[in-house]
Amino acid sequence: MSDTGGLAAPPAVTYPTAYAPPAAPLAGTDLDPPLRALDRHCRELSEGMREAGAAVDRDPDAIAGLLHLPAVGFQAQGSLPPEYRDTVAHPAEPVQASASSLGWAVTAERLAYGDAGVLLACPGPSLSGLAVEALADDTQRAAYYERVTSAPTWTFFGLTEPRKGSAAMELETSLAPGDGDGELVLDGEKRYVGTAARAQTGVVFCRRAPGPWGIEAVLLDTAQPGFKAELLPMVGLRGARISHIRLTGLRVRPEQVLGRHRPPSRRGLYGALHVLYRGRPGIAGMALGVTQAVCDYTAAQRPAMPAAARSRLDGVLDRAAALRRLVHTVAGEIDRGVVDVPRIGAVKSRAAALAEETTLLAAELLGPASLIEHPWLEKAYRDVRAFEYMEGTGAVHRLSVFHGLVKGGLLGGGQAPAGTGQPYVPTAGVSAGAGARGAR
């Protein structure tokens, strides 16, 4: 299959060269000095990402020729433990600041202002790293990080399935006993998994036994016999390179089962949820980055806008500022061990919807032929529609918000139970199908 997944590649385009992301701090932010420095750093790094974005949109594998861009190397650094970071190429302070959920939301917004597709096409641990961090023992952890830092390495996080979507508790991919030596056998399918057809390693969620604690996460090498993945056609955000994985009699050694040293209640499903909730503020950050970029582009292209049009654009910017504050609030809560599933889902789905709405408004304000005359806007228009599906759809998050409202406390946030040292996850998010759904 060609890299376009059967679709014709978009035509070669040249974007306007003027690139002026707003100076820090962005409206709605109240960042401490290290995060403000990170914000400034990422603003500078995003230079050059527009052109890279056009190349990745035409051919997502073009990312392999863009690894020299500082943003490409930087985005992965915060997801590495300090001992594996590249301290020569990247200054330590912004890397450290980007390692938190809030730091990643700030980073994702600034880099997505440059280009969200490039950000998703980059090599690095991404969501699989969060699963490893949550579940792996010391040996698994060391082997994983040595692998992903020894050379540019693409990874994947395989949860969503053709028949069950991203309902983590319903997944069907099976992990069954093999012939002997404790070996296990993996069979099943995963669909819409970012980068899988180009990855060297990744995590697959599968079922070893009935019930929520029968779910396992296994770390695979894509060169293992029985692993096959092909790219799916994408209209927008093509850098994500979503793929269909087929797992056929793939032999899994016991040491590939993440968290084998943990009790079942702290293994597969725990890891999936840990990743899902933490990934959402980053997706919201990306959606806000593109929203801001589209507003700035529209204002720059139509400097003498009538007051009524300007006020509609300002209305979007006001809503983006309000959402940015909420994204930073939920990300900051996650960093403090408070995982309020309905609130996290609410800000992610509102940010995704605002990005879509903003591209529609920009297309209207720039005139009937705007999507032909403004290729960058046309690309943004296609790209933002993916945010709705990444990390769960709006309908699923609205259900989660409903559960949160019924249970109360949605607007107040939760508190980590004293002395547990564990993330606090309100039960609505774990027990309800709605809260447990969603992937990237």
Ligand X SMILES: Cc1cc2nc3c(=O)[nH]c(=O)nc-3n(C[C@H](O)[C@H](O)[C@H](O)COP(=O)(O)OP(=O)(O)OC[C@H]3O[C@@H](n4cnc5c(N)ncnc54)[C@H](O)[C@@H]3O)c2cc1C
Q: Binding residues for ligand X, per CB under 6 A?
A: 157-160, 165-166, 192-194, 237, 240, 242, 386, 389-390, 392-393, 395-396, 399, 433-434, 437-440
Cβ at position 24, least distance to ligand X in Å: 28
Cβ at position 349, least distance to ligand X in Å: 10
Nearest to ligand X of 374, 397 (CB atom): 397
Cβ at position 439, least distance to ligand X in Å: 3
Q: Which residue's beta carbon is nearest to the bound ligand X?
A: 165
What's the distance, CA 437 to chain centroid?
14
Cβ at position 162, least distance to ligand X in Å: 8
- Do 387 and 351 touch, CB atoms closer than 8 A? yes
Nearest to ligand X of 43, 191 (CB atom): 191
Nearest to ligand X of 197, 390 (CB atom): 390
Cβ at position 391, least distance to ligand X in Å: 6
Helix, strand or coil, per DSSP, at residue 69: coil
- Do 355 and 389 touch, CB atoms closer than 8 A? no
Show the CA angle centred on residue 23, arms to residues 17 and 26, nearest 5°. 120
Cβ at position 148, least distance to ligand X in Å: 16
Cβ at position 275, least distance to ligand X in Å: 10
Cβ at position 98, least distance to ligand X in Å: 20
Nearest to ligand X of 270, 389 (CB atom): 389
Cβ at position 128, least distance to ligand X in Å: 9
Give, as one character, the DSSP assignment of residue 220. E
Adjacent-strand bridge partners of 158: 204
Helices 33-45, 101-121: inter-axial angle, 10-degree rounding: 10
Nearest to ligand X of 65, 433 (CB atom): 433
Adjacent-strand bridge partners of 262: none
Cβ at position 277, least distance to ligand X in Å: 13
Q: Where are the beta strands (DSSP E) in 29-158?
A: 155-158
Nearest to ligand X of 160, 201 (CB atom): 160
Nearest to ligand X of 245, 327 (CB atom): 245
What is the Rg, in whole angstroms, of the alpha carbon atoms belonging to the chain?
A: 21
d(CA 42, CA 49): 11
Cβ at position 167, least distance to ligand X in Å: 6
Nearest to ligand X of 95, 116 (CB atom): 116
d(CA 107, CA 40): 10
Closest CA to 285 of 249, 241, 320, 237: 320
Nearest to ligand X of 19, 104 (CB atom): 104
Nearest to ligand X of 35, 245 (CB atom): 245
Give Cβ neighbours of residue 318 (< 8 Å, ≥ 6 apart).
Answer: 27
Show the CA angle centred on residue 151, arms to residues 150 and 156, nearest 5°. 100
Burial of 416 (C-beta count, 10 Å sphere; 0-12/13-18/19+): middle
d(CA 429, CA 400): 7
Closest CA to 160 of 196, 129, 186, 184: 196
Nearest to ligand X of 47, 356 (CB atom): 356
Kindly report the number of other CB atoms within 10 A of residue 206's CB atom. 29
Helix, strand or coil, per DSSP, at residue 301: helix
In one-letter notation, the amino acid at residue 15 is: Y
Give Cβ neighbours of residue 236 (< 8 Å, ≥ 6 apart).
Answer: 379, 381, 382, 383, 384, 385, 386
